[in-house]
Amino acid sequence: MLLLILFEVTRVLFFIFNYPVFKSISFTETLSVLFWGIRFDFASIFYLNSFFILLHLIPGNFKEKKSYQLFLKIIFLFVNALALLSNFVDCAYYEYLGKRSTADFFKLFGMGDDITNLLPQYIKDFWYVLLIWIATLIAAWFFYPIIKQVSVSQKQSTLKNIFIQTGISVLLLGIFFSIARGWELKPLRIISAVEYTDARYAPLLLNTPFTILNTYNIEQIEEKKYFPDEELDKYFNPVKHYQNTEKFAAKNVVVIILESFSRAYIGALNNNKGHTPFLDSLIKKSLCFSNAYANGKRSIEALPSIIASLPPLMSEPFISSNYSANHINSLAGILKKEGYKTAFFHGGDNGTMGFDLFAKSAGFDEYCGRKEYNNEKDYDGNWGIYDEPFMKYFVKKMDIYKQPFFTCLFTLSSHHPYSVPEKYKNKFEGGELNILKSIEYTDYALGDFFRNAEKKEWFQNTIFVITADHTAPVLEEHYKTKTGMFAIPIIFYAPGDTTVLGTFDQITQQIDIMPTVLDYLNYNNAFISFGNSVFDTTNTFFSINFLDDYYQLVQNNFVLHFDGEKSIAVYDMKKDSLLTDNILLKSKTHILSMEHKLKAIIQSFNNRMITNKLSLQ
């Protein structure tokens, strides 16, 4: 009961910390979330404290000794201090991730020195969360029930009593386990939250220990059989073959991934209200998509999406999963076979988030990180090399490469804690959000990069792709919805090419970048891609995501949520921009084609991932 109360307190605090995200929830829905959340809290409490419970239920009067009870109390405080800490961490971290933390969050810390660098910064920024957590632990210690010691002489330690205690213990364990697991055919899962509330409020109903336990050591995905193999391609076919009649255009390709650049920050895409003057000017002479989406919410998910057209449709990021050794198509690998020099650039520590390993497996010839940059004067003290000097280095490196080349730059200055060089502290205005100064700094660095690049001989023979890895905190309500939280810019800039010009509102996503570039270059071989070329007008354009254990498909102004077995919500974005009116029961016929498409994508993704058929070579 003590733990149920403390878990409920952390849920209320999670709600308060993230009120802008959940403020559309009604009073009755709030009460429902607080009530049904107890079921998920009980599951977490039972599984985490199973050893503690077992030690309490072992037959015998020795349990009443003070030393044994103190031992149990220490175990209780230690285990539940960590559980409560994960809830408190998400109070502040949720606005960056858009979901409760899962087990892979901790696994990523084994892929570099990120936790060593970022933990002190987290404590500095969110010290008040740490204080609340400590206060909660003090309360737990103070209110922990004290069992009065009874002398053995006052109780008969007979064989009969031991049998009775054993029977009671087994009965209690069975009852507790049944409640924690649930009585359904499948055990209580993350997706089970949508049975009790709208998907928008599922993170509020859940608790972080539950999402971590439910994703721990789960890397295997299930084979799907929604459709017979011979029928599958009718709904979705990941094999692309554009059969261009023109000669392959061996133009240089430069992909720039901007850290945390939400579409909300781009003035040209928000009625000129933004923080990116250079990017706004570049959009005027580029092909830009104002309705573009990221496929994931983390940097580690962005690389496979952008470079290999591989969306993050499983709980574990591809880079850190058991499937990371699968052979994949990628821009680097395909263009390398066409004679391209390929190189990946990221100013962070080598090894961070497994970028260097993915770059190698994707076919990049060269990896250039903080180590290769080799000048600690430009280190930001947290993540790596500041964007402006690293972009200068990027230009110099490309200047010595033989054409054609394919390069990818991943920026980092606009990542929390949003460092800006000391000399620019007063140059940028920023705004209500801490990130905005660093957004303005990276935009300034990007402008400097292009001013340097346009002087180079290779510039006119290059197509630049500019996008973001994922979104970051925003103020506008429509950017906080389940679609808005993925809204990013996608820009194609080909100097001197008037065919790559204009701003369009067709739905576009990160996994469209690889097929678009290959189509633009007149690539004439088949390849695997879960996205589409933006130039291929025969397609119905869509965007796909996987979040909180359900899938999201955006297509033709409609949003479909699917739990892997059935559709759970449909929204009309045109009439309901904040996604508050679930019209599932009114639109069953209309969404059938969307559901078929989504099922076919999932089946193709899962089965190809399992059988290592993500490449035709």
Mean predicted lDDT score pLDDT of the chain = 89
The pTM for the full model equals 0.79
Mean local confidence (pLDDT), 89-112: 70
Range 39-78 burial, b when 16+ CB lie within 10 A, else e: bbbbbbbbbbbeebbeebbebebeeeeeebbeebbeebee
pLDDT of residue 6: 94
CB 383 within 8 Å of CB 348: yes
Structure tokens at 496: 């001197």
Candidate from 26-30, 100-104, 182-186 with smallest mean pLDDT: 182-186
CB 328 within 8 Å of CB 364: no
pLDDT of residue 172: 82
289-325: pLDDT as tens digits:
999 999 999 999 999 999 999 999 998 888 877 788 7
pLDDT of residue 114: 58
CB 361 within 8 Å of CB 307: no
CB 474 within 8 Å of CB 439: no
CB 301 within 8 Å of CB 509: no
Q: How far is CA 509 from each of CA 114, 294, 437, rounded to the nearest angstrom?
A: 28, 6, 26
pLDDT of residue 480: 92
Q: Residue 427: which of 280, 537, 277 has the closest Cα? A: 277
Pairing verdict, β 558-562 and 567-572: antiparallel
pLDDT of residue 161: 72
| Residue 120 predicted with pLDDT over 80 | no
Most confident of 10-19, 64-73, 450-459: 450-459
H or E element in which residue 327 lies: none
Interhelix angle 127-143/114-125, rounded to 10 degrees, is: 80
Q: Residue 386: which of 355, 425, 358, 359 has the closest Cα? A: 425
554-612: pLDDT as tens digits:
999 999 999 999 999 999 999 999 999 999 988 777 789 999 999 999 999 999 998 88
pLDDT of residue 107: 56
Q: How confident is the model at residue 10 (pLDDT cuts 50, 70, 90)?
A: very high
376-425: pLDDT as tens digits:
999 998 889 999 999 999 999 999 999 999 999 999 999 988 999 999 98
Q: Which residue has the higher pLDDT, 593 or 154?
A: 593
Q: Which residue has the higher pLDDT, 231 or 170?
A: 231
CA within 13 Å, CB half, 67 = 1
Mean local confidence (pLDDT), 503-508: 95
* CATH classification code of 251-288+318-457: 3.40.720.10
d(CA 94, CA 547): 13
pLDDT of residue 369: 95
d(CA 552, CA 154): 63
3-state secondary structure of 287: strand
pLDDT of residue 191: 66
Residues 6+ apart with CB under 8 A from 21: 94, 95, 480
Residues 6+ apart with CB under 8 A from 442: 258, 259, 261, 387, 411, 413, 414
H or E element in which residue 263 lies: none
548-565: pLDDT as tens digits:
789 999 999 999 999 999
Pairing verdict, β 462-468 and 252-258: parallel
Q: How far is CA 277 from each of CA 240, 280, 441, 442, 449, rounded to the nearest angstrom?
A: 37, 5, 11, 11, 14
Q: Residue 3: which of 196, 193, 205, 144 has the closest Cα? A: 144
Mean local confidence (pLDDT), 5-26: 91
Residues 6+ apart with CB under 8 A from 291: 505, 506, 507, 508
d(CA 454, CA 514): 24
Q: How far does Cα 358 stand from its chain's mean position?
A: 17
Residue type (1 letter), 104: D
Q: Could you give phi then psi for residue 440, rounded to 5 degrees?
A: -65, -35
Each domain of the chain, given as residue ranges in start order, spans 2-215, 251-288+318-457
CA dihedral angle for residue 90, residue 96, residue 102, residue 108, rounded to 10 degrees = -120
d(CA 401, CA 399): 6
Helices (H), 414-523: 436-453, 513-520
| Residue 113 predicted with pLDDT over 60 | no
* Cis ω before 203 (30° cut-off from 0): no
- % of the chain with per-residue pLDDT over 90: 62
Q: What is the DSSP letter of 268?
A: G
| Residue 165 predicted with pLDDT over 80 | no
pLDDT of residue 183: 65
d(CA 319, CA 327): 12
197-225: pLDDT as tens digits:
877 788 899 999 998 888 776 666 889 99
pLDDT of residue 154: 47
Structure tokens at 467: 């996008």
Structure tokens at 547: 């979040």
Q: Which residue has the higher pLDDT, 100 or 97?
A: 100
Q: How many other C-beta atoms lie within 10 A of the C-beta of residue 555? A: 18
Residue type (1 letter), 524: N
- Strand runs labelled E in 14-165: none
CB 547 within 8 Å of CB 538: no
CB 289 within 8 Å of CB 304: no
